[in-house]
């Protein structure tokens, strides 16, 4: 029985620490240049991208791509 309590406390503390450090951005924040330069794999092709291509958010930043500015709305949702 004590093993279950110990396991519960360990999982509880790990969960609490995860919550404290999980979120990087909040509503209204701007994405840093370092995070814009991370390459992402396309999993659902759209417009110029096919499945398996890679893209960076910096491709849409006018200061980094030669003056072609875009506004991006990022929506993340889960169905669980």
Task: Please state the domain extents for the chain.
Answer: 34-80
Phi then psi for residue 46, to 5 deg, are: -155, 140
- Contact of 60 with 70, CB cutoff 8 Å: yes
Residue 23 pLDDT > 70: no
Q: Is the separation of the CB atoms in 58 and 37 below 8 Å?
A: yes
First to last CA, the chain: 31
Split at pLDDT 50, 70, 90, the class of 79 is confident
Region 43-67: what's the mean pLDDT? 85
pLDDT tens sequence across 31-48:
888 988 999 888 877 777
């Amino acid at each position: 029985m004590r093993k279950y309590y110990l396991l519960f406390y360990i999982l509880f503390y790990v969960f609490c620490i995860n919550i404290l450090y999980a979120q990087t951005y909040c509503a209204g924040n701007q994405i840093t240049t370092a995070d814009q330069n991370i390459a992402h794999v396309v999993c659902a092709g759209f417009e110029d991208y096919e499945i398996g291509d890679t893209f960076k958010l910096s491709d849409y930043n006018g200061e980094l791509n030669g003056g072609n500015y875009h506004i991006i709305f990022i929506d993340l949702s889960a169905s669980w």
